[in-house]
Amino acid sequence: MRHEILNLVGKNCITPGDGQKVYELVHPELLADQPVELDFAGVKIFASPFFNFAIGQLLRDIEPENLNRLLKVSNLNQVGKQILKLVIENSKRYYSDPDFRNRVDQVISEQANTL
């Protein structure tokens, strides 16, 4: 299944909410072992919160090897590729290393309590 991100989200892929839209669309397809293409043609701006929600959280219940096999990302500019690579590396560690996940969650919780 091919999804045009420009039509789904717009030219700016920045917010967690927009990332969540993509996640909710592709997650069931990937769980059903269906190939998915995310086409970023026409998208100009990227931020890690978008990719954390759109793709990073897929690694919670999809093995990295399966995600690599099933998910194709096309027409992503160099900045987008760099951000996506970092998000995937961080997500792999977060979901595979309970000690790391606990430390990250603790820091986030402490920061939230200071607001």
pTM of the shown model: 0.85
- 38-90 pLDDT per residue, tens: 999 999 999 999 999 999 999 989 998 999 999 999 999 999 999 999 898 88
In this prediction, residue 102 has a pLDDT band, given cuts at 50, 70 and 90, of confident
Q: What pLDDT was estimated at residue 112?
A: 74
Round to whole Å and give the CA distance between 95 and 33: 20
